[in-house]
Amino acid sequence: MYHLSAKYYDYIYSFKDYEKESAILRGMIETYGRSDGNQLLDVACGTGKHIEYLREDFEVEGVDLEPEFLKIVQEKFPDLSFYLGDMRTFDLGREFDVVTCLFSAIGYMQTVEELNLAIANMARHLRSGGMLLVEPWISRDKWRDSSVHMLTVDEPELKIARVVTSSVEGRTAVMDMHHLIGTPEKTQHFVETHRMFMATKEELMDAVQSAGLKASWDEEGLNWRGMLIGVKE
């Protein structure tokens, strides 16, 4: 999905305040967590921008489905462990105190059934008292149909223009992301299409409860998307 844009990902999302978001995550863990340990697994870890700050307080490991992301994050943090895996099926054979799935990566689950599989699998990696933190994708009532957005990056030797046209197919948000990338060597254009399932709050809460966790919902979350919280009692 991100194999072409992975190397530019941190530039494209440089507007995100990962340090602030990580501080909010720490507060949630202190409030809801019941485990005494500090082992954290970041599912769909991407390039590891949250890990950059979370590693100050936790023993962090990561899982991602995109090999290009894993190359980048392993180079950033050669002392940490990262694994190639699908959030529905990965099996590390052990448990953690905290499992996170951030920046709406859960939206790539295309059906309620896939959502349930992913949540259940992440819950299986929690030890007693451990907590699951899942940042949801945008809900249908907050989604803007037929919209267009542009983001630009202007570095001395890197120019990026990303234009995103959005539409809806049933309960799925479809985003065609056109990237125009300019470097001193060449200028290239490519398109990545991202399909994100718009699960309801009730479906997300049900998935956590069905996985045997006590479910809570933080309305604000790291930003306005909210945060799904599950605790293994």
Residues 174 and 65 in one domain: no
CATH label of the domain that carries residue 126: 3.40.50.150
Domain assignment present for 150: yes
Number of domains in the chain: 2
Write down the pLDDT at residue 154: 98
Domain assignment present for 149: yes
CATH label of the domain that carries residue 150: 2.20.130.10
Helix (H) or strand (E) holding 155: strand 148-155
Residues 149 and 72 in one domain: no
Provide the 10 A C-beta neighbour count for residue 82: 22
Is 80 exceeded by the pLDDT of residue 87?
Answer: yes
Of 3, 198, 204, 202, which Cα lies nearest the Cα of 110?
A: 198
Q: Which of 14-23, 27-36, 141-150, 191-200 has the lowest mean pLDDT?
A: 141-150
Domain assignment present for 1: no
Q: Cα 198 to the chain's mean position, in Å?
A: 15
Residues 12 and 93 in one domain: yes
Write down the pLDDT at residue 146: 85
* pLDDT tens readout for residues 9-25: 999 999 999 999 999 99
**Distance between start and end Cα atoms, the chain:** 36
Q: From its phi and psi, is residue 7 left (phi > 0), alpha (psi between -120 and 50) or beta?
A: alpha
Write down the pLDDT at residue 142: 87
Residue 164 has phi, psi (to 5 degrees) of -115, 120
Residues 85 and 31 in one domain: yes
* pLDDT tens readout for residues 89-104: 999 999 999 999 999 9
Domain assignment present for 27: yes
Residues 38 and 50 in one domain: yes
What sign for the dihedral angle of Cα 199, 200, 203, 204? positive
Write down the pLDDT at residue 144: 84
* pLDDT tens readout for residues 205-217: 999 999 999 999 9
Query: Mean pLDDT, to the nearest integer, of 45-60?
Result: 98
Residue type for 77, please?
Answer: F
Residues 62 and 100 in one domain: yes
Residue 191 belongs to what domain range?
A: 141-197
Residues 210 and 179 in one domain: no
Residues 50 and 111 in one domain: yes
In three-state secondary structure terms, 125 is coil
Q: Which residues contact 138 (CB under 8 A, 6 or more apart)?
A: 104, 107, 173, 196, 198, 225
Tokens of 177: 């992301």
CA distances from 110 to 144, 170, 174, 229 (A): 19, 11, 11, 21
Write down the pLDDT at residue 116: 98
Residues 164 and 70 in one domain: no
Residues 114 and 48 in one domain: yes
Residues 190 and 206 in one domain: no
Of 135, 146, 145, which Cα lies nearest the Cα of 201?
A: 135
- How far is residue 16's CA from residue 12's CA, in Å, rounded to a whole number? 9
Domain assignment present for 69: yes
Domain assignment present for 183: yes
* Higher-confidence position of 140 and 184: 184
Domain assignment present for 47: yes
Residues 52 and 15 in one domain: yes
